[in-house]
Structure 1
Amino acid sequence: MKIVDHEILDEFSPAKVQFIRIDPEDISKTLLEILSVLMNLSWLNNFDQEFQRKAFTSRANKTINDIKEKFDKCVNDDISKDAGEYVVSELARETMISKLKYLDVPLAELLGKKRSGNPGFDFHTQNVITDTVIFGEAKYISAITAYGSALKQIVNFIDSGKDIEDLPELRDFCTTSALKRASDGKKGFLAAFSAKDTSTDKIIENITKKMEFLSLLKYEELILVAVNL
């Protein structure tokens, strides 16, 4: 993958707002790279107890097999909705780690959260400088740029307390102080979405007019990640 745009939107201070655009380039290669990352279960070492490691290994392997099956159905760069959302989630998560040096937290589904019924956020990370937990949501829509769906889902999850409900699962990956700050309302959010041919300037212009975007500025950090798919 390649990062093609990265803009800091200082006009929305004190919230730290930034926009990142990713080009996966070779889709077939990207799918293989994502599977390789997901199959690396070194994060299991975060757990002190052997029974925890065994339990999370079983959960993760089931999820990886399910993702692989979805990826196997993608032929000639034709990405299905289920596969597309994994691609958007994982490329956004990896960008946070490699580009911004945020904490590496496994995809929520690898930790055993069933995705059907939208029980919570798709992925998480932490800004290690500000001790801020970031809650990420990914959307893929084949026909349009999907920022509207991602932002709306984030707001809905906040309203129903899904962010707070996610905190116990992050205990072994995020710092205690960051988790406490999140429970006190000091947190950030990441909207990751598939993007079509619309220019970056136009996407930013459209997003920053949306009610959902404006409502999220009361939080410490907001990251927008567009993935060209």
Structure 2
Amino acid sequence: MRIVDHQTRNHLITLFDSRNIHFICVEIDDIPSYAKELIESIKNTSWIDKLDVIGKLAYTETTLETIDKLISIFSYSEEDPISANFGEYLISMTAGSSLEELLSHEILPLSELWKEKISGNPGFDFHTITPQKHISFGEAKYSAIRNTYKAAIEQIVSFINQKKGNRDLPHLRIIADKEAVDNYMNGYKCYCAAFSLKNVRSFDAIIESIISLVEFEKIIHDGNEVFIIGIKICRP
């Protein structure tokens, strides 16, 4: 994983309120090696050990079942590195790693590791916690043939309208920092749209396209900070 570009823009909401918007471009090559790294990351269940007794009982079985499924998908990806299933997980986990490396976010376990469904989780794909202790709700979209920024942004808006963040809260109060959950209850939260990118050279043009989207304006007004991450997956 290599961070190619990072641009920060300030969007004025009112004379007394503004939002930081981060545009991040990432490139990934050597997919088989990277898949092995992701498998090791998924297999790390140390976060469960930090939970209380109820948390351990609630998440151990779901997590172990999901780990087995994800390892199967990621192992298969070494021969088919841009398959649809692997692609979306790759976007989610790379986005989290990028925010950790670049902006010192704390990465929470991948959503499918703690939600009830073994696959196809019913809400946001990934979560991080910012240094300001704000929960960032992330959505990942992948396509082998097109840029998927509009789909990711539209999905976030849909989730905002459906109050999906509230539905994640019973889980987040167990696995996330209490201060971050308290901040969410007081209206402080962030959003991250992560998407597959066909060409890193088109990233500046994509930024301008994103800024012009009506849906993007909705995200800016609902979140305290917004992270847009384009990820180019290089073919072997």
* CA distance, structure 2, for counterparts of residue 175 and residue 75 of structure 1: 35
Retained in 1: the 8 A contact 2:96–2:128?
Answer: yes
Q: After superposition, give the CA deviation of every residue in 1:161-214 in whole Å (9 maximum; x if it has no partner).
A: 111111121113333332233234321100011110152111111111111111
Distance 1:12 1:34, change over 3 A: farther
Query: How many pairs are equivalent?
Result: 227
SS in 2 for 1:19: strand
Q: Which of the residues 199, 204, 208 maps onto 1:205?
A: 208
- TM-superposed CA distance for 1:119, in Å, is 1.2
Following superposition, the deviation at residue 11 of structure 1 comes to 4.5
Q: CA RMSD in A?
A: 1.9
Match of 2:101 among 87, 95, 98: 98
Larger CA deviation: 109-118 vs 93-102: 109-118
Structure 1: tracts of 5 or more residues without a match: none
Equivalent in the alignment of 1:41: 45
Q: For 1:40-189, what aligned pairs fall within 5 Å after superposition?
A: 40-49=44-53, 52-76=55-79, 78-114=81-117, 118-129=121-132, 131-189=133-191
- Cα distance change on mapping 1:117 and 1:83 into 2, 3 Å: closer
Q: Distance in 2 between matches of 1:113 and 1:222?
A: 27
Shift of the alpha carbon at 1:20? 1.0
For the 8 Å contact 1:59–1:112, the answer to whether it is kept is yes
Q: Secondary structure at the match of 1:157?
A: helix
Q: Rate the CA distance shift 1:186–1:115 in 2: closer, same or farther, 3 A.
A: farther
Q: Which 4+ residue blocks in structure 1 deviate beyond 4 angstroms?
A: 115-118
Q: Which amino acid aligns with 1:105?
A: L
Provide, for residues 85-131 of structure 1, a one-character-per-residue CA deviation record: whole Å limited to 9, x for no partner: 000001111222222111231011111342756511111111122x2
User: Whose strand proportion is higher, 1 or 2?
Assistant: 2
- The percent of aligned pairs where both chains have the same amino acid is 35
Structure 2 unaligned residues grouped into runs of 5+: none
Q: C-alpha distance in 1, partners of 2:55/2:179?
A: 23
Q: Secondary structure at the match of 1:99?
A: helix
Q: Shift of residue 137 of structure 1?
A: 0.6
Are 2:25 and 1:21 equivalent residues in the alignment?
Answer: yes
Q: Is the 8 A contact 1:138 1:191 kept in 2?
A: yes
Q: What is the TM-score with the length of structure 1 in the denominator?
A: 0.91
